[in-house]
Amino acid sequence: MKCIVYSSPFIPAEWIAAHELKPLRIVPRAASRAAIPAGMGVCPFARAFANEVLADAEAAGAIFATTCDQMRRLAEQTAAAGPANRIFLFNVPATWQSVTAQKIYLAELQRLGRWLETRGGAAPSRERLAETMVQATLPTALEKAASNRQAPALAVVGGPLLAEHRGIFDLIQHAGGRIVLDAAEGGERTRRAAWNRRSVREEPLLALADAYFGHIPDAFRRPNSELYAWLKRELAARQVHGIVFLHYIWCDLWRAEAQRLKEWCGLPVLVVELGDQAHFNAHVRSRIASFLEMLK
């Protein structure tokens, strides 16, 4: 089965699968071959994703999303560097409260469907889409770590993370922290909502759009109040003692939230800026250790 790669949580895997293509969500690695070099102002994650797409000759196509300006612009560069029509730029509206925003998202799903057909996919019937959706499993909440229950309960909040940087979870736990909420991209925050079963039967595409576009809180959304509403709920429910906030250098969307989050949440917040390097330097390790000392 031909494979379609993507990284944004706003791209429904079920829609790709219903087109009889294999959806593959990439968590790019910093060490990927670098056709697009590091540069002043270029987000390491967006660059890594573009490089991974360029290095992957197997995938039938790759989907970028407009959830950040860097991805939008790197989609253009990636498209220019590779075979024609291999890149699809999915227009995910930043606004979400208007009917137009919802219509744009739905129209983009339909346009994506047409593109998937050009990449070897087959247009799904309503029934096939519904069946694909019903069969898809929703990941459960973060598995409870077996670490010490007395350890400070932490939330990890932020945007996307390179594969190597997911190691921050281990780093925190080794330093004596207990992660009870993964609110980074790829974690609980960016999971679609459970299907509305009736809608799936009647209007599966609408149900799909609603579960993704209607329910994933993110920093890029305008306004991004739902992100804070979600955090408020989850931080309280998990009895979080502190937040480790992660963002990439040059990621304006998340970086600008750091201070606001500090002012808003009333909890200690450790801000960690990540760069192109795959490893965590001594400073990051030291900060995490300091943070946990403080919480203890």
Residue ranges binding other proteins (CB under 8 A): 39-42, 66, 68-70, 72-74, 76-77, 80, 89, 91, 93-95, 98-101, 103-104, 107, 111, 114, 219-220, 222-224, 249-253, 255-260, 262-264, 268-269, 271, 273, 275, 282-283, 286-287, 289-291, 293-294
38 vs 122, beta carbon nearer other proteins: 38
For the bound state, the minimum distance from the C-beta of residue 243 to other proteins, rounded and expressed in Å, comes to 11
Judged by beta carbon, residue 57 or residue 80, the one nearer other proteins is 80
Query: SS3 sequence, the chain?
Result: CCEEEECCCCCCHHHHHHCCCEEEECCCCCCCCCCCCCCCCCCHHHHHHHHHHHHCCCCCEEEEECCCHHHHHHHHHHHHHCCCCCEEEECCCCECCCHHHHHHHHHHHHHHHHHHHHCCCCCCCHHHHHHHHHHCCCCCCCCCCCCCCCCCEEEEEECCCCCHHHHHHHHHHHCCCEEEEEECCCCHHHCCCCCCHHHHHHCHHHHHHHHHHCCCCCCCCECCHHHHHHHHHHHHHCCCCEEEEEEECCCHHHHHHHHHHHHHHCCCEEEEEECCCCCCCHHHHHHHHHHHHHHC
Q: How far is the CB of 182 from other proteins (least distance, A)?
A: 22
CB nearer other proteins, residue 144 or residue 279: 279
Nearer CB in complex with other proteins: 63/258: 258
CB 31, min distance to other proteins, A: 21
Q: Which is nearer to other proteins, 130 or 183 (CB)?
A: 183
Residue among 12 and 242 whose Cβ is closer to other proteins: 242
Q: How far is the CB of 87 from other proteins (least distance, A)?
A: 11
- In the complex, minimum distance from the CB of residue 27 to other proteins, in angstroms, rounded to a whole number: 21
Quote the least distance from Cβ 33 to other proteins, whole Å.
18
